[in-house]
């Protein structure tokens, strides 16, 4: 009578064919490389998010002729809701207010408030674009404004620019609209202009009518 012996052993201790082991290791290496590549791209996207979402304006990088520049300006003018020169007198996260000095297109007004391009979604989220033009308080600009959420907004990829850089635009805008709206001059300037166009007696009388007596003492004759 023969007897048999059952031998138990761990599968992990079995001899493995060298070809199978090499294939297994190769597959592990490929998966690790893929994982590392994915992590690299994710990290790069996070670190360079500002550049990735930077505003990129289209157009031909080649130098433009004067006629081509005028054609672009005319197109900007026609596509804009308002075109004006003005100084930023108030600004916050969502709105910017201008004191208008000249309005070539749009409603005749002395002041104009428009959006900065930022929209409040809820208490913790705000939507904005890197193409929104960033104005600075106290600076003067030439603005080409477009329609936005029921109001107006200016973008970087338009003709909007600091007023000091707008000389060429101003000449063409005056050709497009020879009679732009200009707000009335200040009361102080109008008073001075009126004074300088009248006789001496009328000038003195006008000053006394407008200025408080305490401010006009210097006009009174010295006591005898």
C-alpha 192 chain-centroid distance: 39
The CATH number assigned to the domain with range 66-176 reads 2.40.50.120
pLDDT score of 24: 58
pLDDT score of 31: 60
pTM of the model: 0.61
d(Cα 99, Cα 112) in Å, to the nearest integer? 7
pLDDT in tens, 122-151: 888 888 888 999 999 999 999 999 998 889
User: SS3 for the chain, per residue?
Assistant: CCCCCCCCCCHHHCCCCHHHHHHHHHHHHHHHHHHHHHHHHHHHHHHCHHHHCCCCCCCCCCCCCHHHHHHHHHHHHHHCCEEEEEEEEEECCCEEEEEEEEEEECCCCCEEEEECCCEECCCCCEECCCCECCCCCCCEEEEEEEEECCEEECECCCCCEEHHHCHHHHHHHHHHCCCCECCCCCHHHHHHHHHHCCCHHHHHHHHHHHCCHHHHHHHCCCCC
The domains of the chain are located at 66-176, 187-218
pLDDT score of 5: 44
pLDDT score of 43: 45
pLDDT in tens, the chain (224 residues): 444 444 444 444 444 455 555 655 656 565 665 565 555 444 444 433 334 356 878 666 678 899 999 999 999 999 999 999 999 999 999 999 999 999 999 999 999 999 999 988 888 888 888 899 999 999 999 999 999 888 999 999 999 999 999 999 999 999 999 999 999 875 555 565 566 555 444 444 444 344 444 444 444 455 54
pLDDT score of 48: 36
**24 Cβ neighbours under 8 A, 6+ residues apart:** none
pLDDT score of 191: 60
């Amino acid at each position: 009578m023969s007897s048999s012996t059952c031998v138990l052993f761990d599968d992990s201790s079995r001899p493995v064919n060298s070809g199978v082991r090499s294939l297994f290791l190769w597959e592990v290496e490929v998966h690790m490389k893929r994982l590392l590549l994915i992590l690299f791209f994710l990290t790069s996207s996070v670190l360079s998010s500002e550049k990735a979402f930077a505003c990129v304006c289209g157009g031909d990088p080649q130098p433009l002729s004067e006629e081509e520049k005028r054609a672009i300006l005319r197109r900007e003018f026609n596509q804009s809701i308002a075109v004006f020169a003005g100084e930023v007198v108030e600004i916050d996260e969502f709105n910017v207010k201008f004191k208008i000095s000249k309005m070539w297109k749009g409603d005749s007004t002395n002041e104009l408030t428009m959006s900065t391009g930022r929209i409040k979604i809820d208490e913790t989220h705000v939507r904005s674009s890197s193409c929104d033009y960033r104005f600075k308080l106290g600076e003067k600009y030439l603005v080409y404004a477009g329609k936005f959420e029921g109001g107006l907004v200016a973008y970087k990829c338009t003709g909007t620019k600091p007023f000091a850089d707008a000389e060429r635009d101003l000449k063409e805008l005056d050709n497009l609209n020879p009679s732009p709206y200009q707000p009335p001059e200040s009361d102080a300037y109008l008073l001075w202009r009126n004074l300088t166009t009248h006789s001496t007696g009328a000038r003195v009388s006008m000053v006394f009518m407008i200025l408080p007596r305490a401010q006009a003492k210097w006009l009174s004759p010295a006591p005898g």
